[in-house]
Structure 1
Amino acid sequence: MELTIGKFAKAVNTTIRTLRHYEKIGLLVPSKRNELNQKIYTGDELKKFYNIQLLKSLNLPLYEIKQRLEDPEYSFKEMLEIQEALLLDKRDKINMSLGMMTRIKALLNETGDLTNEDLMLLMNSIRLEEDQRKILNRYFSIDTIDAIIPKSKSQQIALDRLNMRLLSFFQAAIHNELTPESHEVQRELKEIIEMLPVPLEEFYNSNNNLEKQLGIIKAILPVNMTEFLGEAIRVLFNSHHEGKGE
């Protein structure tokens, strides 16, 4: 097989511009010329071109492909293992992003619309769920954590609704200059906590360090809400313990 650059580009379903770029960087350089002094692509270039495409499909950049094709001692078995790990990690991240988008779109369908700020807050909350689980793992049982940050889609939807309610209410409370100890704030906070699918005493247990629990909340929620909500929770906890005579 001996083809000029135009015919070779058509044969391998690429562009002349791509082939010239490969030649410029020394990745695929034609080794022969015809009687018209035109550069000719042979079977050797065809084989090398498909090897380049193969390595590109494994997500390798061109400069690295060039290095590996030029190094006869390079271990392609080792490269496959490394690239597999990288691609699996990328797949997990893509799946996580797609899952986040699905959950946000479900909320949008229910509420009709969300502000850019609300969308960013909710997306960050979803994105950081694994980090939240690690924080909660220091203080709560696995069953409790799975209830607070569930894995199943149906339970995640309920969690997202609750997060949306919490964010919306406390943003409005701050905007309307309500105080953390006000009746409206305390009533809403108590209702939200009671909606959590975990034993209430795990939140009210006086044997747990309250500051640690508030620290968890602060790590999860937006900065502008942590101080307000932290104080509201402190008031609610104190009221609960006083009501029990503790």
Structure 2
Amino acid sequence: MSLPEDSSSVIGLLRPPKISLPTFSTIVYGYGMELPAFTLARGYVAFSGEPVKLLGVYDFTFLDSPYTEDSEVVFFVNDEAELKDLENVVKTLGIRGTLLTCGGKKFPLRTQVFEGDLCEVNLALSTLSWLTKFSSPRSKHISEELDTSDLKDWISSKLQDVDPSLDLVISPVLLPSITLLKQNLGKKVKPFYEKDFSDSNVVYTGVDSLIGKRVAYQLRNQGKRVKEVLLDTDPLTAPIYLSIMSYIFKIRTKGS
């Protein structure tokens, strides 16, 4: 089956920028930036073997910032209100770090501003590229996955596995994609732990397939229509690829 034009147009927008990150022990994310933040946090722990704190903007602002250690903080924040609240804390407490944002607001830290469609997705890919500096068999595997020449065929096959008439339930590994999925799909998108599910695609990865299959079984017992979708790729790239798929479905919905 040839790749639909809408898939090619979305994949053509994958141009992850080069990023520069300081030595850090804390990652802070705002609304809509879960994907790059979780990708960096999960990958950093996996590749470096060192712990890292991952906090939402207001957990950091109200609970953690007074006790921030000497190492710098990496911020993934777009929302202007969140940036304003962060700015007050950063200035008052003298917090050091780097802001990566898809907006253009001035901020009293070293700031890397990125633009364009799929900005959050491209930033997530950029964090993976940055993480490959840690030498390991898995980082070599991730480097190979960052070559998008084979991505088109894989996504094309996975798009065929999804029933576009159904809502979505996603597994633990895929949770960083949930905000983008909700924005792009115009459907109910629920995490695996919620209740009151509708007819749904149950999407999961190889590492959390037991949870995905359990949810699918529960839904079938409730008389729901269920389509199981396995994303058989690395757990670090799976939420990114699912987000890319959501942009393709968004284009198809607009064109229908």
Q: Same fold (TM over 0.5)?
A: no
- Higher Cα Rg, which structure: 1
Give TM-score scaled by structure 2 length: 0.22
**More RCO (CA 8 Å, sep 6+):** 2
Give TM-score scaled by structure 1 length: 0.23
Greater fraction helix:
1
